[in-house]
Amino acid sequence: MSALPYFDDVLSPEVAVLPLPGVAKRLNVPLTRVQQLIRDGAIFAIRRNSVVSVPEIFLETEGRVLKGLPGLISVLRDGGYPDLEILQWLFAVDDTLPGAPVDALHGNRAKEVTRRAQAMAL
């Protein structure tokens, strides 16, 4: 089995994160499933205070991975963006949205975020 990919913490301290066991509990899946989601690139993990964690905003309240996030990541990867740049872009505040792309995925602006990612990937 391959090593679990994660990034050193490049996010604002205000970004809430959950350790992997907390993600597994929230999604109601085994820890190995969370690890596979990370390996597959459906979600990203960071290491904060020596603990590998996932930004809580990557999860919906219904216990699912944020709708549209895995596809958005795939679009940007296919466009040649490295994972670290994708992670940083997701949390970069954009006054034209307004807010960060990851925030917009939770609201009625998800299609606009996807459109922008597709345009970036061209």
Cα dihedral 61→67→5→51 (10° resolution): -10
- What single letter denotes the amino acid at residue 13? P
Q: Kindly give the confidence (pLDDT) of every residue in the chain, 122 residues in length, as a single tens digit, with 9 standing for 90 and above.
A: 568 999 999 999 999 999 999 999 999 999 999 999 999 999 999 999 999 999 999 999 888 999 999 999 999 999 999 999 999 999 999 888 878 999 989 877 888 888 888 888 77
Instruction: Say what the pLDDT of residue 2 is.
Output: 64
Query: How far is the C-alpha of 72 from the C-alpha of 80, rounded, in Å?
Result: 13
